[in-house]
Amino acid sequence: MKHTGRHTGAFLLLFLTEGDNYGGKLLQKCEEELPINPIDSSILYRTLKKLEEEGAVESYLDTSVTDKPIRMYKITKVGKRKLEEFQIDIAEKMKNLSFFLEKYKEWKN
């Protein structure tokens, strides 16, 4: 059973609280830091586009590092509020998941 990455936006916003970043680096952070990574490049860019449409992130072209401009993303005030909503949602889901695991463990024993 493959997890679809329903909280991809939460992880991307969380990583953007550490500073502006570009898609490739955000994908690398997902691969390196998430215990179970359900995020591939198509999901990542689709989610960034959706977050930008919602006003949670803004993008801009950075030309300071290389000859080729890099599309950078930064979290906005709307994004920080959305991150708080994600936190509440995830905390509630964790309670239900913990309940499930506890009941399952009782059943197995």
| pLDDT (0 to 100) of residue 1 | 40
Unique residue bearing structure tokens 């994600």? 86
Number of domains in the chain: 1
Question: Can you give the pLDDT at residue 2?
Answer: 45
List the domain range (segments joined by +) for residue 97. 8-108
What pLDDT tens digit does each residue of the chain (109 aa) get? 444 567 899 999 999 999 999 999 999 999 999 988 878 999 999 999 999 999 999 999 998 877 789 999 999 999 999 999 999 999 999 999 999 999 999 999 8
What is the helix (H) or strand (E) element at residue 54, kind and residue range?
none
Token pair in block for residue 97 = 């998941």
Amino acid 36: pLDDT? 87
Name 21's Cβ contacts closer than 8 Å, sequence gap at least 6: 15, 29, 72, 73
Question: In which residue are the tokens 């695991």 written?
Answer: 101
Q: Give a yes or no: residue 61 inside a domain.
A: yes
- Rounded CA separation 43/37 (Å): 11
Query: What CATH number corresponds to the domain at position 56?
Result: 1.10.10.10
Number of Cβ atoms within 10 Å of the Cβ of 77: 9
